[in-house]
Amino acid sequence: MAADGLLKQVYAHTYVRWDIEPDPVCRALAAGHCMTERLRERTVLGRFTAAWIYGCAPAPRQLQLLVDHARRTTALPPFTAAVLHEVQLGPAEGMDIAGVTVTTPLRTAVDIARHGTGRPAVDAVLALGTDPVLRCPLGDVRSHLESQVRLPGKAAALQCVDAALQLAADAALGPGRARQPARPGAGTRWCGIRRRRRRFSAPR
């Protein structure tokens, strides 16, 4: 049916009708279908996988799963199309989307800036920081990174965010306008992501 144009692939073996545009709920459910119940309960979707769920990056080849280093978890089941990272996760850094826990936009942008490389990382951070629905402006991402002490990868992460800020500034100027250096910390003030999990609800 997909070959006939009647279905549209969301991820792996999850499809939707051709006239439905996948949203964060749809993508989170598709990712959740690739995980065992135990993994869904104990891990958090993060990095480029979370950016994809928010609609800010292409679909990942492997799901990027995060688990707090203080929690005990087993190894990934054989043939799981995912990679598991042990990290430090705060209680307010995950949010529930259709029963699947995903890192918040701020944590997602910070992680990609720290661990991503090249233009894909810059593009994902830019998309996360300029989507008004996510309420995570680039200035907040930079301020959060600057406030961290002895953070591995901090210098490279700041360079990534600065590159995204420059691209955002160029886009705001429009074609034919002179480029100006991005000011450190430029952007909207702290957007106040709530310290509780938010739930996306599927349309009724």
Q: What percent of the chain has pLDDT over 70?
A: 82
pLDDT for 164-183, tens place per residue?
Answer: 999 999 998 877 665 555 44
Whether 186 contacts 164, CB under 8 Å: no
- CA dihedral of 80, 82, 86, 90, whole degrees rounded to 10: -120
- How high is the mean pLDDT of the chain? 86
Render pLDDT for 71-101 as a digit per residue (tens, 0 to 9): 766 678 777 889 999 999 998 999 999 999 9
Please state, in angstroms and rounded to a whole number, the distance separating the CA atoms of residues 22 and 3. Answer: 18
Is pLDDT larger for residue 120 or for residue 200? 120
Is the pLDDT at 204 greater than 60? The verdict is: no
Judging by beta carbons within 10 Å of its beta carbon (0-12, 13-18, 19+), is residue 27 exposed, middle or buried?
Answer: buried
Instruction: Encode pLDDT of 114-147 as tens digits.
Output: 999 999 999 999 999 999 999 999 999 999 999 9
Q: What percent of the chain has pLDDT over 90?
A: 70
Kindly list the distances between the CA atom of residue 99 and the CA atoms of 26, 27, 29, 134, in Å, as whole numbers in the listed order.
11, 12, 8, 19
Residue in 28, 150, 156 with CA at minimum distance from that of residue 94: 28
Place of tokens 């119940």: 37
Mean pLDDT value across residues 25-31: 96
